[in-house]
Amino acid sequence: MIENSLIDRLSPLVDGRVYFGVAPEGAVLPRLILQTVSEGAGFTLTGWDGSSDLSIQVDAWGASHFKALTLARQAFVAMTTDGDDFTTGSADRLPDAFEDDTGLFSVSWEYTLQP
């Protein structure tokens, strides 16, 4: 599963603080949040051709914009390094965010991965 490979690749950057969907309350910074954007399967006239891809959003969270940006750059290197687990077909930076209520910053990228 690509999801397990994502955790394996990204965990060393944040001492294991990689979460799907939402971080638990009180989760320490810095941290990475992963969200599945879409998953596709390739088809021909005879049916599924065995190919697939996964679009995943990686949000790097930090106490400052610089810290979030630095983590996002480290995650970019980890995500775009070809391996036996998956390859990255594309990477697009998304708008940065700041949460008024928590005072946290995030820098996000969307990656399209192929197993």
Please name each of the domains of the chain with its CATH number: 2-114 (3.30.2000.30)
Average pLDDT over residues 72-83: 96
Handedness of CA 17, 22, 27, 33 (dihedral sign): positive
- Considering the chain, what is the average pLDDT of its residues? 92
What is the model's pTM? 0.89
Q: Kindly state the average pLDDT of the residues 87-97.
A: 96
Cα gap 90→25, rounded to integer Å = 32
Contact 111, 91 (CB under 8 A): yes
